[in-house]
Structure 1
Amino acid sequence: MSFRALPPSLSEPPRPDPICAVVARPSVAEALADLSESCKRKVSLVEIRFDRLRDLADPGVFTKASTVPLLATVRRKADGGAWEGDESSRLDLLRRAIGAGFSWVDIESDAIGSFPRLGAEKRIVSFHDCQGVPADLEARYQSMASADADTIKVACLTRTPAESARVLGLLAGVPKPTVAFGMGEVGQAGRVVQLKLGAPFTYAAVSAETAVAPGMLTIAQLQLNFGVRRVNASTRLFGVVGDPLGHSLSPMIHNNALRKLGNNDLYVPFTVPKGMLGEFVSSHGFLGIRGLSVTIPHKEDACRLATRRSAEVEATGSANTLLFHGDGVIEAHNTDYDAVLDSVMGGLKNHPAGWTLKDKRVLVLGAGGVARSVVHGLSSRGALVRLTGRTRERADAIASAIPCEVVDWNARHAEPVDVVVNCTPVGMHPHAGESPLEASFIAAPMVVMDTIYNPESTALVLMARERGAVAVTGLDMFISQAAAQFKLFTGETAPADLMRQVARNALASRVSRPQAQAPR
């Protein structure tokens, strides 16, 4: 899957993307190959991680080969690097890099006093904490800002939304250009969002295999998935909240659709651990997020968090979309509701016997937010719904609000049904070989729908096809609900065909290259 870049103005020369490519290879030959690739990708800066090199003789080999400014870094192990030599040798290597023509050097905040400027080189003063966010983070930043630095870099491992927001908050009213983000999955969105807050660039791996920090994105992801060149202070921010999000195609399809409108809006994945949606919303208010897609495990929490709820949200107790208004109003919608009904009805329409939902026996697998929408929608159209989930209490809670029969998970194969709708994550990437049902349970003329879209043809869908059932994939439902979200976010009709094609291209790419992952 790829984005087409917006055409630059005819009056402006092409400008590099706000990306610092990180070259971290053990051999000079490999590093030179990555440097060449980075230059081709039109990044602003390339960092050579000398601490990762095993056979370096002359830093000049890089300056001779580069067409973009170079940044020299020799990161100590204590700061997340690989340097095990003495401090004197480390600083001497930085001096040699400057002498060889490197435009930038990275110096840790506790070493800046031992490293006076040699000439016209630019200096990044950095602080890394690979264990967490220190209590004195803000004081450390102020101390760094008073040092002889051209740019400040702060990177801390973050485990909660509040910690990630605290690191990003350093970018408010900064005295010097600053790059600040959380490492790890929870902080990953900040690597992109910081550009909206004024960061001059963000760091990126040349490939996923060469990432040197948890949560680091690749050049391709930043350019193609997020279009970072267009991000600035005027960018309207949208996103998806959930955990996990490695499977999510939402950023790809929404950013492609936003780009189709010709603006610089941005949609990013925010990994938010279970039970922390409220913390995320309260701590990230300063970002001015306009709207969020909501996925596992936050759909019921999103309903409770909202101050306004659509009729579908009120009926199901589940929300997959949040809109944020300047007056503090949080508006909840459920675009899953119509999307899943349309998909099931489409499967019935294609049934050889011309089935309708009335009096059909339906087994719904799962007891989360999507299952709530499915149970309510199918019940309201006369289906006889049987609900099962691994957690009986959650299924009982749905049944107390929406009349249906609840059966134990271990008894899900006990009675024959006409329709199956899987609302569990069983079979989702990267566990695509798993199925929530045994093959012997499925037979013609049953209709089997899987709400999972990654992969499009899950083990359950393949099983249904093999056994003569009518199989309905989750992709059409996914695109339908996403298109409805897009309309709520922007007020514009979504380019649904484009979104579907982007999703299919991305899924096909993952099948051919299993190592490729969506941003996490």
Structure 2
Amino acid sequence: MDAFLQEIAEASATGVDIIELRLDFIKDFEPMKDLERLMAACSMPYIVTYRPTWEGGNYEGPEPERLATLKLAALKGAPYVDVEFKASALFFAGAGEVPLSTKVILSSHNFQETPPAAELHARAAAMREAGADIVKIATMANDISDAAVVLSLLQQKTGPTIALAMGERGQITRLLAAKYGGHLTFAALSDARASAPGQPTIAQLQQLYGFAQQGPGTQLFGIMGKPIHHSKSPLIHNTAFRHLGFDGVFVPLLVDDLPRFMDAFREHDFQGFSVTIPHKEAAHKAASSRDPVADQIGACNTLIRQADGSGYKGYNTDWIAAISAIERVLAAGSSDAAAATSSSSSSSIEGQPSPLQGKTFLVVGAGGAGRALAFGAASRGATVLIANRNKARAEALAAAVPGGATVVDWEQLQAGAVSADVLANSTSVGMVPNVEEAPVATAAVGNFKVVFDAVYTPRETRLLRDAAAAGCLLADGVAMFVGQAVEQLKLFTGTSQPPVQLMEDVVLGKVKVGSS
């Protein structure tokens, strides 16, 4: 009880609107003695919830006692009580026992799946018929398309509704509840104290996603990828949106199948997307039109909704950001990785030949980012080499590069038999959580003058540590990430003056946003 009371005070200080009192989390809870203390400790509206194990909670006692406790809370003046739909007939059995001043949330949870939309809508209607003042439906999202089904409950606007899709694939239903007109959403005091999978923290919801500022006119953006939890794209874009006074919100989208996601959210007003591993080539195919560079590369990291409703136009902002970072390191001749973090999107020596001209440029990986690096290096006059575990993919990319490229044997690269002026890793090897992995054997790294790693979480990857020890010049993924994001921001908002330094500072942790 003491710890629970402390958390009530902690939550009250954060600026939330409502506190949920989960009685089933309290050890040795005694309703007649403890309930009034808890209610008196709340200086703002609160929900009294006593969740049984059969609905995902902790209460294992007799059902009559549990329901009696909820009725007691209502009689003592609780603004809200949460009652499971399965127990609604028993709860409402005594007509007039619950005062009208207490709003009853009838809740339904499915921890296995998200049923079809028709079934959810029928469930919501039955809950209102059963006496719900507010309907709460929570389901498990096994695919992000399930989130679209759950959000359709809010789009119907049939009465006060709380609609949540649990898990990382359904997290946008929590982050965008205000945008869609949800009655409320839930947030945790910290990651460790989340009461359901996919629940954001209060700080993230308020500061990072601007929950209180969301409205029907808020424009939607997001990053599609798998994995996506590590991405700093929501951090960099939401911070830039606020700086510009732009009414938009940028959310993480854990997408397993890009075409299925695009189909599920066709009628939602997403205005643009960032696209990361492994969906850049799929995004190119999904785009209804593409800019010439993206079309040549065959991969898109940006999709922008067209004003005429014809779909999304695809762009690739990866290549210029990465190539420029490498050019600056070559021009500076510095082994200081920080020299490559400037997010300028053009060559550092305007009007002069690129430092890459005539150099040998080895691309590790043959996915969307690898294609961008290979085409970009070729456009700067470099001789391009391709190495990939799957040789067929490497050969396909080599054949597509303007002027051609040479395929390097993967085993020979690892054995130290390959050298070049630049080594550019485009794979996700070394990304959190697998931070001790590297795409190239330690003994082979010294064969390159400049080593670039597109991975930016962590900033100092195993590959870059090995390269520093070998005396190579370094270019880290922060430069590429910030540079491509700057170009995306221009496309998202139409701004000609993106806050470049702010965006870089946010990625480097110099500006704290949404920490918990």
TM-score by length of 1: 0.89
> Aligned partners of 1:497 and 1:356: how far apart in 2?
25
**Amino acid of the structure 2 residue aligned with 1:335:** T
Contact between 1:456 and 1:507, CA under 8 Å: does it hold in 2? no
The Cα of 1:100 is off from its aligned counterpart by 4.2
Equivalent position of 1:13 in the other structure: none
**Does residue 405 of structure 2 align to residue 404 of structure 1?**
yes
> Aligned partners of 1:145 and 1:337: how far apart in 2?
53
Equivalent position of 1:172 in the other structure: 155
Equivalent position of 1:490 in the other structure: 493
**Does residue 409 of structure 2 align to residue 436 of structure 1?**
no
Equivalent position of 1:92 in the other structure: 68
Contact between 1:365 and 1:421, CA under 8 Å: does it hold in 2? yes
Equivalent position of 1:418 in the other structure: 421
Q: Which moved more, 1:482-491 or 1:161-170?
A: 161-170
Among 214, 221, 224, which residue is 1:231 paired with? 214
The Cα of 1:183 is off from its aligned counterpart by 0.7
Contact between 1:145 and 1:175, CA under 8 Å: does it hold in 2? no
> How many pairs does the alignment contain?
483
Equivalent position of 1:502 in the other structure: 506
Contact between 1:294 and 1:321, CA under 8 Å: does it hold in 2? yes
Contact between 1:465 and 1:471, CA under 8 Å: does it hold in 2? yes
Equivalent position of 1:10 in the other structure: none
**Amino acid of the structure 2 residue aligned with 1:474:** G
**Does residue 98 of structure 2 align to residue 118 of structure 1?**
yes
Structure 1, unaligned stretches of length 5 or more? 1-27, 511-515
> Aligned partners of 1:404 and 1:395: how far apart in 2?
10
Among 11, 18, 22, which residue is 1:38 paired with? 11
> Aligned partners of 2:74 and 2:389: how far apart in 1?
60
> Aligned partners of 2:377 and 2:114: how far apart in 1?
47
CA deviation digits over 1:47-104, x for unaligned, max 9? 1111222122311222222211111111222322222222112212212333444221
Q: Alignment identity in percent?
A: 36
**Does residue 363 of structure 2 align to residue 383 of structure 1?**
no
SS at match of 2:106: strand
> Aligned partners of 1:454 and 1:128: how far apart in 2?
35
Equivalent position of 2:393 in the other structure: 394
> Aligned partners of 1:98 and 1:111: how far apart in 2?
16
Contact between 1:98 and 1:105, CA under 8 Å: does it hold in 2? yes
> Aligned partners of 1:408 and 1:62: how far apart in 2?
68
> Aligned partners of 1:360 and 1:216: how far apart in 2?
49
Within a 5 Å distance, the mapping from 1:254-403 to structure 2 comes to 254-273=237-256, 276-325=257-306, 326-351=308-333, 356-402=355-401, 403=404
> Aligned partners of 1:94 and 1:272: how far apart in 2?
40
**Does residue 460 of structure 2 align to residue 461 of structure 1?**
no
**Amino acid of the structure 1 residue aligned with 2:405:** C
Among 54, 66, 73, which residue is 1:78 paired with? 54
SS at match of 1:344: helix
SS at match of 1:127: strand
CA deviation digits over 1:79-130, x for unaligned, max 9? 2222222211221221233344422111111212222352121111111100
> Aligned partners of 2:490 and 2:334: how far apart in 1?
35
Q: Which moved more, 1:435-444 or 1:475-484?
A: 435-444
Structure 2, unaligned stretches of length 5 or more? 336-348
Contact between 1:444 and 1:470, CA under 8 Å: does it hold in 2? no
**Amino acid of the structure 1 residue aligned with 2:371:** R
Moved over 3 A (4+): 352-355, 506-510
RMSD: 2.2
Equivalent position of 2:127 in the other structure: 144
Equivalent position of 1:513 in the other structure: none
Equivalent position of 1:190 in the other structure: 173
> Aligned partners of 1:104 and 1:509: how far apart in 2?
32
SS at match of 1:132: coil
Equivalent position of 2:480 in the other structure: 477
SS at match of 1:44: coil
Q: Which moved more, 1:246-255 or 1:28-37?
A: 28-37
> Aligned partners of 1:372 and 1:301: how far apart in 2?
13
The Cα of 1:445 is off from its aligned counterpart by 6.6
> Aligned partners of 1:341 and 1:472: how far apart in 2?
10
SS at match of 1:285: coil
Closer/same/farther in 2, CA of residues 312 and 158 from structure 1, 3 Å limit: same
The Cα of 1:508 is off from its aligned counterpart by 9.1
SS at match of 1:205: coil
The Cα of 1:497 is off from its aligned counterpart by 0.8
**Amino acid of the structure 2 residue aligned with 1:400:** A
Q: Which moved more, 1:357-366 or 1:472-481?
A: 357-366
> Aligned partners of 1:133 and 1:259: how far apart in 2?
34
The Cα of 1:240 is off from its aligned counterpart by 0.8
Among 60, 71, 75, which residue is 2:36 paired with? 60
> Aligned partners of 1:284 and 1:469: how far apart in 2?
46
Q: Which moved more, 1:367-376 or 1:351-360?
A: 351-360
